[in-house]
Amino acid sequence: MISNIILPTANISNAEIFYDALLGLFGAKKTRQNNSKILWKCRNDNVGLMVCEQNKSSLAKKNHSLTVALEADSPAEVTMIYQVALRLGATCAGKPITSDIGGHEAYFLDADKNKFGIIFSK
């Protein structure tokens, strides 16, 4: 049903560097790219992540009602991915924790304030 998740960015070059490194942790590769859009997908995945350059005034009005969830294979991987994201320039939106249902999760914001969760469920 969903083909891609599209996130706005104010700087496509910076977004490319960030997402190449971050999504590479999941085995994702760029499948399409032009001057204002980049799409990453994992092999055999139907859903991809796309960044699309927008002007800064439209990004400034953005609220944070959407979180993109990234699946981790272990609690340790949740922490590792979170730490890599912070080293790549993301900001903390929720340190790694054990959730009340026994899973593990952590949250960060990219440079354009798009929110991500790294989730491990038993």
3-state secondary structure of 51: strand
**pLDDT tens, 78-99?**
999 999 999 999 999 999 999 8
Q: What is the C-alpha to C-alpha distance for residues 101 and 121, in angstroms, rounded to an integer? A: 9
More confident: 100 or 23: 23
Task: List the domain range (segments joined by +) for residue 96.
Answer: 4-120
The SS3 of residue 49 is: strand
> What's the total number of domains in the chain?
1
What CATH number corresponds to the domain at position 31?
3.10.180.10
Task: Tell me the pTM.
Answer: 0.77
Are the C-beta atoms of 109 and 18 separated by less than 8 Å?
no
Residue 97 to residues 37, 39, 73, 110, 120, Cα–Cα distance (Å): 33, 30, 15, 20, 10
